[in-house]
Amino acid sequence: MTKIEAIIRPGKLEEVKEALNKLGIHGMTVCQVMGCGHQKGRTEVYRGAEYSINLLPKVKVEIIIDDRWADACVKAIAETARSGEIGDGKIFVYPVSNVIRIRTGEQGEAAI
């Protein structure tokens, strides 16, 4: 099993969800997060004073999926979330040794 963690722009979430649904991927966890990378935040002016916003709002999408679907999932997220500008985000891919469904005790792929 594989865990795919994608940090994307908030405005791209619906498009990414639709792309994943087309692949038959329905289970995911979505969190609102703050962060910065090469974008390094932005500078704004408020009442004549300039100030810097170092952390920008992003969305983190986490998916646990069977290994055979991981590449297709990563490709769908990357193509859908890409705008071509700095700040599009990152995708992280991790191996998962086990998953346990708390309600039933099922383990492994059956728990996904």
Contacts made by residues 27-31, CB under 8 angstroms, sequence distance 24+: 27/63, 27/64, 27/112, 28/61, 28/62, 28/63, 29/61, 29/62, 29/63, 30/59, 30/60, 30/61, 30/62, 31/59, 31/60, 31/62
Half-sphere exposure in the Cβ direction for 71 (13 Å, CA): 1
Q: Encode pLDDT of 19-64 as tens digits.
A: 999 999 989 999 999 887 776 666 667 777 766 677 788 999 999 9
pTM: 0.84
Residue 11's SS3 state is helix
User: What are the CA-CA distances from residue 29 to residues 13, 48, 62, 80, 87 (Å)?
Assistant: 12, 40, 5, 18, 21
- The correct answer on CATH 3.40.47.10 for the domain covering 2-111 is no
Q: Encode pLDDT of 99-109 as tens digits.
A: 999 999 999 98
Ordered by start, the domain boundaries in the chain are 2-111
- Residue position matching structure tokens 């974008």: 39
